Amino acid sequence: MSLTGEVVVVTGAGGFLGKRLVRLLLEEEKTAEIRLLDLRVQPQLVESLEDCRGDTELSVCEGDIRDAEFLRRSCRGASIVFHIAAIIDVKDAVEYSEIHGVNVKGTQLLLEACVQENVASFVYTSSIEVMGPNPRGEPIVDGTEDMAYESALKFAYSKTKMEGERRTLQAHGEVLQNGGRLATCALRPMYIYGEGCRFLLGHMADAIRNKDVLYRMSRPEARVNPVYVGNVASGHLQAGRALKDPQKRSAAGGKFYFISDDTPHVSYSDFNHAVMSPLGFDIQRDLMFPLWVMYAVCFIMAALCAAVRPLVRVVPPLTGQLVTMLNTPFSFSYQRARRDLGYAPRYTWEEARRRTTGWLAAELPKEREKMRKK
């Protein structure tokens, strides 16, 4: 089912995934209008899309997702919302009120705007971190949407994304102002990599400081399945199409789906090496420190940060939950998304790696220059 002639809203349009989805929509769908909703949208983004814009109108909607009236204006006349905008924080560096305001309240206000403005479809970008791993580090290998797992989430990011997902799926079937019904679904991508991934840049910068040797923070056996950003964007497009299709809408509405691809199952550290080794980077053979030492240091840092918090907020560089996340086998299948949404990876691992490494190669001289100036 095509989105031809539709008015589409993409929140977080200026971000890593948002930009990729907007380009995909322009390349594959003859939409009437795409509204780029974000706190700030760089003029360069709109300029960069001119080569594939065609007859689609690109509208910039700058504002705070916690502003209900702004959201109503942005959704007026639209038929589908892709809600990607969120605060991503795996170190608990952001105050809880801030991350909750954006990831939960913002999602709720956007859902209400959809009901008030008769937006028929809503695709929510969730995260694999709503599953865990739990503090006990219990592994999952090729998990499915049906499996039970006691997550006991620790990160504020994980908790708020789960709450945003829950509210999204509960809103499925709500009656719109015009008498129609809202259809919703949520996508849970794995760790997303590709051109523009700030986490990869951070790991490369650390390796440059370490004489071009990547730090090993994950055991080799702690295998996960990262997913390429182009495939995640494709999953969103397929979800949008499915919610418009009357038959698929009934199957997919109110459900969540894991989005992965055929990237090899490796540890986070070994994945970093896989995309950076062609650039001359090596990787440490063993963990920087034994796991028990990492946990002990994290415990001490957390206690010290808690002690001084009444005076100043200090964010430790590493937490016990982050160590657990980096060292727990945690992988999931995309087969249900294939069945219900028609999703299939567009990019092979070889192509995704080539594109990612090529982007990192272009960024490498800039990172080295930054290091030189420090």
Is residue 161 part of the annotated active site? The answer reads yes
128 CB-near residues (< 8 Å, 6+ apart): 188, 189, 190, 191, 258, 330, 332
Structure tokens at 125: 């970008």
**Helix axes 68-75 and 106-116, enclosed angle (nearest 10):** 40
CA dist 167 → 78, 98, 141 (Å): 21, 18, 27
The burial of 306, by beta-carbon neighbours within 10 Å (0-12 exposed, 13-18 middle, 19 or more buried), is given as exposed
Structure tokens at 197: 């991934």
Structure tokens at 226: 């990262």
115: Cα separation from own chain's centroid: 25
In sequence order, what DSSP letters do the residues of 6-39 get, joined into one string? -EEEEETTTSHHHHHHHHHHHHH---SEEEEEES
CA dihedral 264, 265, 268, 273 (to 10 degrees): -40
Q: Which of 19, 105, 161, 248 is catalytic?
A: 161
169, 175 Cβ separation under 8 angstroms: no
10 CB-near residues (< 8 Å, 6+ apart): 18, 21, 22, 25, 34, 35, 36, 37, 81, 82, 84
Catalytic residues: 161
